[in-house]
Amino acid sequence: MSDMSSVPADPRIAVLQATTTASQWDILVIGGGASGLGTAVEAATRGHSVLLLEAHDYAKGTSSRSTKLVHGGVRYLAQGNVSLVREALRERGLLRQNAPHLVRDLGFVVPAYDWWAGPFYGIGLKLYDVLAGKLNLGTSKNLTREAALKRTPTLQPEGLMGGILYFDGQFDDARLAITLLRTLENHGGVALNHAPVTGLIKEDGKVVGARFRDAETGQEHEVRAKAVVNATGVWVDEIRRMDAPDAPDMLSPSQGVHIVVDRKFLPGDSAVMIPRTDDGRVLFAVPWHDHVVIGTTDTAVPSASFEPRALAEEVEFILNTAARYLSPAPTRADVRSVYAGLRPLVKPEGGADTKAISRDHIIRISEGGLITLTGGKWTTYRRMGEDTVTRAEGLAGLPERLTLTPKLKLHGWSDEERPDHWKVYGTDAERIQAMPDAGIQLHPDLPYSEAELRWGIRMEGARTVEDLLSRRTRALLLNARASMDAAPRTAAILAEELGKDEAWAAAAVQEYRAVAAGYVLE
C-alpha cells in the first residue's frame, strides 16, 4: 500500500457535494442504464440542469449484458414491425456517426441449408437495406457455398448450400454507457452511482424529488426536481410503487443468456446469424474483443434480480444450437464466461409469449407526475431520451428546446484505428497510455493494463472491483476465471486510489469473487 500522502483526492466527494447543494434540478433521472443515460444526456444538451442517480453502477443491469449489436432487428421485421425497424436502423446510422470509436460495421452471414432459405431471407434483408436508406452500412447479397465458407470457415459444411450476407453494427455496451456518462458531465450534468433511491418526495400529490442513500457512507440525502424520470429498466415497477403503492406491474421480464468462447470458433471477419432456432428466436455468434459471443435465449422470469443466473437448460440450448452450425463447435469446457441479462418487456394487453412482445419503448406519466420510461433497446437509446425529455419539458413547464443529439459527437469521438481494446476509449486512449503503469499488464490472459484501472477510478466513477472488471474493462465477460485471478491486484489499486486499508481490499476481493463465480461454467 502506498504512502497515504500520495493518495489522490476521492472524485466522489465533489460529485456528492454537487448533488446535494443544488436547491432544485430541472430533471432528475433515476437509473444509469441505456435509457437513463440517454435521457440525461438529452436533457443536459438541451440546457436543462440534470442529475442522474444510479443504485449500483452505470449499466450494471441489462445494459452491460446485451448481444453487443447496434441493429435494426431482423427478427422484428419478421414480426411485421416495420416502424420499429426503420427507427432502429436510423438510430444505428446516427450512433455509427456519433461514436465511431465504439460502433463498427460488421458483416453477418445467414447460412442456407435449405433450397428456399436463400431467396426467403434474401428478400427480407433487401427490405432491411431499403428501410436503412442513406444510413445503410452495406448492401446485402447472396453468397455461394464457397463464399460463405471463406467468410466463416467454421460453418458446418455438410449440407451448406450458400448464404446471405448483410450488415449491422457492433459495439461495446458498457463502454458506451461510460462514454454517455462522460458526455453528460461534459455538458454540465451530474451523475452519482452507488446511490439507491429509497423514496420519492411528494407535495400536494405531485412527485417533486427523491430521497437517496449514499451506499458507501449510509447517509441519506434529499434532492428536488421539476421533473422526475423513472428509467430503472426491469426495476421500474419498484419506483412506480414509491409513487403509487397499488400500481400494477408494467413489466413481464425475460432473460437472455450468452456464452463467450475463444475466437478460434469463429475466425474470419464476419458474424453468423441463425434465423430460426427451435424456440423461434434468432441466434447470433458475434466476434467481440477477440472472443466470440453466442446467444441469446428468451426465458420468462417471475422477478428481477441484480445478478441473474443462466439456467442449465439455456446454456445447453445455446451449445446444442451452435453445434448444428459450427464445426468444430464449442463445448461446456470451452466457455470462458456465461452471462445473463433481463429484458424490461412491457406487458401486453391480454398476455403474450415474450418472443412476441414489442420491443418499442413506452413512456407513462402517473397521476403524481412520475415519468416512467421503459422497454426499448440500446440501439434506440437516443430516441428514447429525446421523447422522454420532450414529454418532461411539457409536463414540468420547462423551456421547450430542439434536440441536438442526432449530430452530437460523444465523448472521446475518434475515427482513428487503434488496437481493439484501446479503441473504445477514443481520444482518451492517448492519455491513458501516457500514465506510468500503462505498460503493466493486469493478467496474462486479459488485454488490460493497470493504468486502465486507475483511469476508471479517477475519471469514470468506478468504486468497486466489479465496476472495474465487469464494466470499465470487460474482463469478467471475456474470461471469468482470469478476472477472479486479477481481483487481488485490482482491489489493491482501488484501495490505493481511494485511501482504503488492506482489510477493505481483502473484503472487496471476496465480494467480487462471489459475483464472478456465477459467470463460470463448472
Domain contains 456: yes
Q: What is the pLDDT of residue 118?
A: 79
Same domain, 470 and 456: yes
Residue 109 has pLDDT above 80, yes or no: yes
Pick the more confident residue, 221 or 130. Answer: 221
Q: How would residue 5 be classed by pLDDT, with cut points 50, 70 and 90?
A: very low
* Same-domain status, 239 and 365: yes
445: domain CATH number is: 1.10.8.870
Same domain, 425 and 511: yes
Residue 460 covered by a domain:
yes
Answer yes or no: do 512 and 502 share one domain. Answer: yes
463 with 400, same domain: the answer is: no
Domain presence at residue 71: no
Number of domains in the chain: 3
Question: Could you tell me if residue 92 is inside a domain?
Answer: no
pLDDT for position 3: 38
Q: What is residue 83's predicted lDDT score, i.e. its pLDDT?
A: 86
CA angle at 414 for the pair 408 and 417, rounded to the nearest 5°: 150
Residue 78 in any domain: the answer is: no
Please, are residues 328 and 154 in contact by the beta-carbon 8 Å criterion?
yes
Q: Is residue 355 very low, low, confident or very high in pLDDT (cuts 50, 70, 90)?
A: low
Query: Residue 410 — very low, low, confident or very high, per pLDDT cuts 50/70/90?
Result: very high
More confidently predicted of 418 and 6: 418
CATH number, domain of 21, equals 3.50.50.60
Which domain, by its residues, includes 455? Answer: 420-519
The residue behind cell 450468452 is 258
Cβ distance 468 to 442 under 8 Å? no
Residue type, 351: G
Is residue 350 pLDDT above 70, yes or no?
no
What confidence score (pLDDT) does residue 373 get? 97
Tell whether 392 and 246 lie within a shared domain. yes
Residues 138 and 287 in one domain: yes
Tell me if 77 sits within 8 A of 166, measured CB to CB.
Answer: no
Residue 73 falls inside a structural domain:
no
Quick one: pLDDT at residue 217? Answer: 96
* 231 domain residue, yes or no: yes
- Whether residue 482 lies inside any domain: the answer is yes
Q: Do 162 and 256 fall within a single domain? A: yes
CA 258 to chain centre: 14
266 and 375: one domain? no
Q: Residue 333: which CATH number?
A: 3.30.9.10
Strand partners, 305: none
Contacts of 150 (CB under 8 A, 6+ apart): 268
